[in-house]
Amino acid sequence: HQFINKWATLTDPADIRTGVKGHLKCDISVSGKGDVATPSQKFSDAEEQIE
């Protein structure tokens, strides 16, 4: 499975009442033994979407 160019919300788990602290854009790939990872696609800044 792959998640490419996804935004993760950053929070303080010790104080969830403070709300969102920021966002982190990441690529995540989960593979099993013997799987071959495929390179992620590159997007231009104009194509970015905050989800």
**7-40 confidence digits (pLDDT tens):** 999 999 999 899 999 999 998 888 889 888 777 6
What is this structure's pTM? 0.53
Higher pLDDT among residues 39 and 3, named by residue: 3
- DSSP letters of 4-47? EEEEEEEE-TT-GGG-EEEEEEEEEE---TT--PPPPPP--GGG
Rounded to whole angstroms, the Cα distance separating 34 from 14 reads 39
Listed in sequence order, the residues at least 6 apart from 31 whose beta carbon sits closer than 8 Å to its beta carbon are: 37
Model pLDDT, residue 36: 82
Give the CA-trace dihedral at 13, 19, 25, 30, to 10 degrees: 40
Confidence of residue 43 (pLDDT cuts 50, 70, 90): low
